[in-house]
């Protein structure tokens, strides 16, 4: 698995540049909601503190003088976090807890989450799909845009809401915590079950963790919010990896996690 992580650049030297990482850390320190992902940090995080955290949790270069070029994710940290991720899924399966899956990276990570959702469903966990078809207004760089909350293979995502219906648009890459807030709010209002575990990325994890729900997921080195949430105790676990490689490259990770969690068919 370690060789696969490095060969596909899921870990090791990754495509996420040092410039992108440092920009994200500066925006997080400034309280930019696009980078906070729904997290309300309990303490003030400056850029040096974020860099130390990300070096510890991900393995990025701790050198503040390294400002340009490639950055890294320590594959050993990724492997260790994948093991812990699988162990947490195994506990959820043993307890048959209701689970909610959501992604802001449907073009890359949908297959991973869908396979895990199917494994937990086979183990007896209710995989929840609240607020299917709910219209949402999500912020963009040019104001707000209408979207629809949908589920594909039991994984929540959003699509731009076009004039001819949501099914005509590709799933959207998004960072917002508003979809998970809307899904949870709709479930509570309807008296439906709430998840005892949320699995995903971006605003799905940070938004759920901020609301006090158990949440875990995957994050790249330019998404410090999940790692801050983990450090502050509101995110159970974050797996450091490049979240934008080819979707097929995540299949061995899927098999690895399902096998360790005893969720394979």
Terminal alpha carbon distance of the chain: 20
Q: Which of 25, 5, 76 is nearest to 222 (CA)?
A: 25
Does residue 164 surpass a pLDDT of 60?
no
With a cut of 80, say whether residue 142 has pLDDT above it.
no
Q: Which stretch of 92-101, 134-143, 209-218, 225-234 has the lowest confidence by average pLDDT?
A: 134-143
Token digits of residue 187: 């479930």
**Which residues, 6 or more positions from 40, have their beta carbon under 8 angstroms from its beta carbon?**
210
167-204 pLDDT tens trace: 567 899 999 999 999 999 999 999 999 999 999 999 99
pLDDT-derived band at 9, boundaries 50, 70, 90: very high
**Contact in structure between 183 and 130 (CB atoms under 8 Å):** yes
Task: Give the C-alpha separation, 161 to 19, whole Å.
Answer: 33
Instruction: Quote the CA–CA distance of 132 and 248 in Å, as a whole number.
Output: 27
- Give the pair of three-digit tokens for residue 219: 């994050």
Half-sphere exposure at residue 238, Cβ-oriented, CA atoms within 13 angstroms: 32
Is residue 230 within 8 A of residue 224, CB to CB? The reply is no
Element (H, E) at 151: strand 143-152
pLDDT for 165:
45
The mean predicted confidence, pLDDT, of the chain is 95
Query: Is it the case that residue 126 has pLDDT exceeding 90?
Result: yes
Cα–Cα distance measured from residue 152 to residue 9, given in angstroms and rounded to the nearest whole number: 27
**pLDDT at 259 > cutoff 90:** yes
- Range 214-225 average pLDDT: 98
Contact 83, 260 (CB under 8 A): yes
d(CA 197, CA 218): 14
Q: Give the rounded percent of residues in the chain with a pLDDT score beyond 70.
A: 97
From the list 229, 214, 239, 201, the residue with the least C-alpha distance to 80 is 239
Q: What is the pLDDT of residue 168?
A: 60
Query: What does the alpha-carbon distance between residue 95 and residue 87 come to, in Å, rounded to a whole number?
Result: 13
CB neighbour burial string for 176-199, b if at least 16 within 10 angstroms, e if fewer: bbbbbbbbbeebeeeeeeebbbbb
Q: Report the relative pairing of strands 135-140 and 143-152 from DSSP bridges.
A: antiparallel
**Model-level pTM?**
0.96
Task: For tokens 């990896």, name the residue.
Answer: 241
* pLDDT for the residue numbered 140: 78
DSSP summary character for residue 247: G
């Amino acid at each position: 698995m370690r060789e696969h992580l490095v060969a596909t650049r899921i870990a090791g030297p990754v495509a996420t540049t040092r410039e992108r990482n440092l920009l994200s850390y500066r925006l997080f320190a400034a309280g930019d909601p696009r980078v906070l992902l729904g997290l309300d940090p309990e303490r003030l995080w400056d850029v040096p503190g974020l860099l130390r955290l990300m070096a510890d949790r991900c393995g990025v270069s701790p050198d503040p003088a390294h400002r340009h070029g490639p950055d890294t994710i320590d594959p050993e940290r990724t492997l260790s976090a994948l093991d812990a991720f699988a162990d947490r899924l195994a506990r959820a399966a043993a307890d048959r807890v209701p689970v909610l899956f959501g992604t802001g990276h449907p073009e890359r990570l949908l297959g991973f989450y869908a396979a895990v959702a199917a494994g937990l469903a086979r183990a007896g966990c209710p995989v929840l799909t609240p607020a299917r078809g709910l219209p949402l207004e999500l912020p963009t760089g040019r104001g707000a845009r209408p979207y629809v909350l949908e589920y594909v293979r039991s994984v929540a995502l959003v699509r731009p809401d076009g004039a001819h219906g949501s099914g005509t648009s590709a799933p959207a890459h998004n960072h917002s915590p508003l979809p998970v807030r809307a899904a949870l709010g709709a479930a509570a209002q309807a008296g439906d079950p709430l998840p005892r575990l949320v699995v995903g990325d971006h605003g799905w994890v940070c938004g759920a963790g901020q609301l006090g729900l158990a949440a875990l997921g995957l994050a790249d080195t330019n998404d410090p919010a999940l790692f801050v949430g983990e450090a502050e105790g509101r995110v159970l676990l974050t797996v450091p990896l490049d979240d934008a490689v080819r979707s097929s490259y995540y299949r061995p990770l899927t098999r690895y996690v399902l096998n360790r969690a005893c969720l394979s068919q």
